[in-house]
Protein backbone atom coordinates (compact mmCIF):
# COMPACT_ATOMS: atom_id res chain seq x y z
CA UNK A 1 0.00 0.00 0.00
CA UNK A 2 1.68 3.17 -1.20
CA UNK A 3 1.03 6.38 0.73
CA UNK A 4 -1.16 8.76 -1.27
CA UNK A 5 -2.21 11.32 1.34
CA UNK A 6 -0.36 14.45 2.39
CA UNK A 7 -0.42 16.05 5.82
CA UNK A 8 -3.00 18.72 4.91
CA UNK A 9 -5.37 16.02 3.63
CA UNK A 10 -4.93 14.01 6.84
CA UNK A 11 -5.54 17.04 9.07
CA UNK A 12 -8.72 17.98 7.19
CA UNK A 13 -10.03 14.41 7.51
CA UNK A 14 -9.34 14.27 11.25
CA UNK A 15 -11.08 17.63 11.79
CA UNK A 16 -14.11 16.47 9.78
CA UNK A 17 -14.23 13.20 11.74
CA UNK A 18 -14.23 15.14 15.02
CA UNK A 19 -16.99 17.46 13.77
CA UNK A 20 -19.09 14.49 12.62
CA UNK A 21 -18.62 12.78 15.99
CA UNK A 22 -19.57 15.90 17.93
CA UNK A 23 -22.66 16.42 15.78
CA UNK A 24 -23.76 12.84 16.38
CA UNK A 25 -22.98 12.55 20.09
CA UNK A 26 -24.56 15.92 20.97
CA UNK A 27 -27.76 14.86 19.24
CA UNK A 28 -27.58 17.61 16.63
CA UNK A 29 -27.72 15.02 13.84
CA UNK A 30 -29.73 11.89 14.54
CA UNK A 31 -31.25 8.94 12.74
CA UNK A 32 -29.80 7.30 9.68
CA UNK A 33 -28.04 10.49 8.59
CA UNK A 34 -26.26 10.64 11.95
CA UNK A 35 -25.15 7.03 11.66
CA UNK A 36 -23.88 7.63 8.13
CA UNK A 37 -21.89 10.65 9.33
CA UNK A 38 -20.44 8.62 12.21
CA UNK A 39 -19.36 5.82 9.83
CA UNK A 40 -17.89 8.36 7.42
CA UNK A 41 -15.98 9.96 10.29
CA UNK A 42 -14.57 6.57 11.29
CA UNK A 43 -13.45 5.96 7.70
CA UNK A 44 -11.81 9.40 7.62
CA UNK A 45 -9.90 8.61 10.82
CA UNK A 46 -8.77 5.22 9.54
CA UNK A 47 -7.56 6.57 6.20
CA UNK A 48 -5.75 9.41 7.99
CA UNK A 49 -3.87 7.03 10.25
CA UNK A 50 -2.75 4.74 7.42
CA UNK A 51 -2.10 7.66 4.99
CA UNK A 52 -3.88 5.82 2.21
CA UNK A 53 -7.21 6.57 0.53
CA UNK A 54 -8.48 3.71 -1.64
CA UNK A 55 -10.72 6.08 -3.62
CA UNK A 56 -7.67 8.02 -4.84
CA UNK A 57 -6.14 4.94 -6.50
CA UNK A 58 -8.55 4.42 -9.47
CA UNK A 59 -8.30 8.11 -10.35
CA UNK A 60 -4.52 8.30 -9.97
CA UNK A 61 -4.78 11.02 -7.33
CA UNK A 62 -2.23 11.70 -4.63
CA UNK A 63 -1.81 14.54 -2.16
CA UNK A 64 1.42 13.08 -0.78
CA UNK A 65 4.61 15.04 -1.42
CA UNK A 66 6.44 13.77 -4.47
CA UNK A 67 9.69 11.85 -4.06
CA UNK A 68 11.23 13.76 -6.99
CA UNK A 69 12.18 16.73 -4.78
CA UNK A 70 14.48 14.68 -2.55
In this structure, is residue 70 part of a structural domain?
no
Give dist(CA 27, CA 50) in Å, integer. Answer: 29
Asked if residue 47 is part of any domain, the answer here is yes
In the chain, how many domains are there? 1
At 2 the pLDDT is 86
Model pLDDT, residue 66? 80
Residue 46 lies in a domain: yes
Within-domain flag for 36:
yes
- Residue partners of 21: CB distance under 8 A and separation at least 6: 38, 41
From first to last of its 70 residues, the chain has per-residue pLDDT tens of 789 999 999 999 999 999 999 999 999 999 999 999 999 999 999 999 999 999 999 999 999 988 743 4
Q: Which domain holds residue 28?
A: 1-53
69 within some domain = no
Q: Do 51 and 64 meet the contact criterion of CB atoms below 8 Å apart?
A: yes
Q: Within a domain: residue 68?
A: no
The answer to whether residue 64 sits within a structural domain is no
Long-range contacts from 36-40, C-beta under 8 angstroms, 24+ separation? none
pTM attached to this predicted model: 0.85
Amino acid sequence: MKTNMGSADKIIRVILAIVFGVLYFTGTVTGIFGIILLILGAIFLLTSFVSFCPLYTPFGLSTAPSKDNE
